[in-house]
Amino acid sequence: MTDQLKEDAEVLRRGMLLGLVPVARIVAWTDRRIAGTAAEQLPTQLLDVAISGGRTNSVVAALLADVPGHADVVRASRRVLGLLAEWYATHPEDGGWIARTIYHLAAAGDLPEDAFGTEAYSLDDLFANPAVSTPEQAHADLLKFLQRYADVPAV
């Protein structure tokens, strides 16, 4: 359970830092996890997150980072892409921001090339440079990327 817990915490942490997950959603997730966990199996770090409703995003991010376990980078990244896909479905005007975010995730090593290819590095160019792509094609390529790599975040 700890590794799934850590992966969920990592997805929420990264989603919050991207502005996609509000602290209230994180606290609600924590409350559900606490309710479904025997006291002797409950990491104390989870309790710290549960009472973080009034804290800043940077404090909540640090608390989520302290949840014990190991997150699978590829699985967590697919779920973060799922958060971006959810946002894109209701905010298609943010396609350029999403493409830039994907670029930054790749540049930071959060989208390893062996799992995500190199397309993540060029999606933002499609939005930024009209000589490279039409807006319609940029949106279509972004959608294809998200459909190929994103998983349902489920947190």
For residue range 105-132, what is the model confidence (pLDDT) as tens digits? 999 999 999 999 999 999 999 999 989 9
pTM of the model: 0.91
Report which of residues 67 and 38 the model is more confident about.
67
Q: What is the pLDDT of residue 37?
A: 81
pLDDT at 153: 83
Q: What is the pLDDT of residue 142?
A: 98
User: What is the pLDDT at residue 11?
Assistant: 97
Closest CA to 23 of 52, 62, 64, 63: 52
Question: How far is the CA of 79 from the CAs of 14, 38, 48, 85, 111, in angstroms?
Answer: 10, 26, 24, 9, 11
